[in-house]
Structure 1
Amino acid sequence: MTKEIWLNLPVKDILQTTAFFTKIGFKLNEHAPKSDSMASFKIGQKDFIVNFFTEAVFKSFTPFQIADVTNATECLISIDAENKEDVDNMLKNAAEAGGKVFAAGGEKDGWMYGGGFIDLDGHKWNVLFMDFSKFPQ
């Protein structure tokens, strides 16, 4: 049986990536090795780990091409927020750190509030607050 799951993503510049994700509130994974080719962050209450690797290192993990995410989405990485304000703050922080908001915070279906941003390398992130007490029965 599996013990953990984590996400590995390719990036062009580790220092810029580290600065970006630190500015939006992710916490550095202090247990990961310090390197100029890797940055590791813990996200959320359960410390989900996201590792960012330089493209050269990432390419060594797989025989496949790195996806061109300029005009495509390889996946949508979703983050569960505590409230609407946290959604808006993360979107604001992402924009201020150099990312691009592709969907401003807004209501959906009466029980969700969310928006999305694109990081410095084109990866798409979705930030949602879900109020299940308002979920249609």
Structure 2
Amino acid sequence: MPGQIWINLPVQDLNRSIAFFKEVGFSVSHGPGNGEDNASLTIGDNNVNVMLFPAAMFEKFTGTRIADTSKRIARNRKLIATDR
């Protein structure tokens, strides 16, 4: 797992979100992490992995509510990494 980035995201429509990520260059991962309730996608030699979860499952997993971005600003995270 060294050198990999894992991102967990809540989504409203799993199939629509999978289609979006495939359109921008991700591919669906095979094996664990894919099912009717979630999806795992990768890009760049499997170094960037995105896990998509339905919003209700994400809230249960994290123990927090997802922000309604039509009413408030969501948190923005940025990660910058350089080679050694």
Q: Residues 73-120 of structure 1, C-alpha deviation per residue, up to 9 Å, x if partnerless? A: 422467xxxxxxxxxxxxxxxxxxxxxxxxxxxxxxxxxxxxxxxxxx
Offset of 1:33 from its aligned partner?
3.8
Work out the CA distance in 2 between the residues paired with 1:47 and 1:32.
Answer: 16
Which structure: larger Rg?
Answer: 1
State, as a whole percentage, how many aligned pairs show the same letter. Answer: 32
Please, what TM-score do these two structures have when normalized by structure 2?
0.71
Q: Which has the higher strand share?
A: 1
Work out the number of aligned pairs and report it. 79
Unaligned runs of 5+ in 2: 80-84
Paired residue type of 1:75 = N
CA separation of 1:37 and 1:77: change in aligned 2, threshold 3 A? farther
Work out the CA distance in 2 between the residues paired with 1:30 and 1:77.
Answer: 28
CA separation of 1:24 and 1:10: change in aligned 2, threshold 3 A? same
Offset of 1:41 from its aligned partner?
0.9
**Aligned residue for 2:62?**
62
Work out the CA distance in 2 between the residues paired with 1:74 and 1:32.
Answer: 29
Alignment partner of 2:67: what SS? coil
RMSD: 2.8
Offset of 1:21 from its aligned partner?
0.8
Please, what TM-score do these two structures have when normalized by structure 1?
0.47
Alignment partner of 2:18: what SS? helix
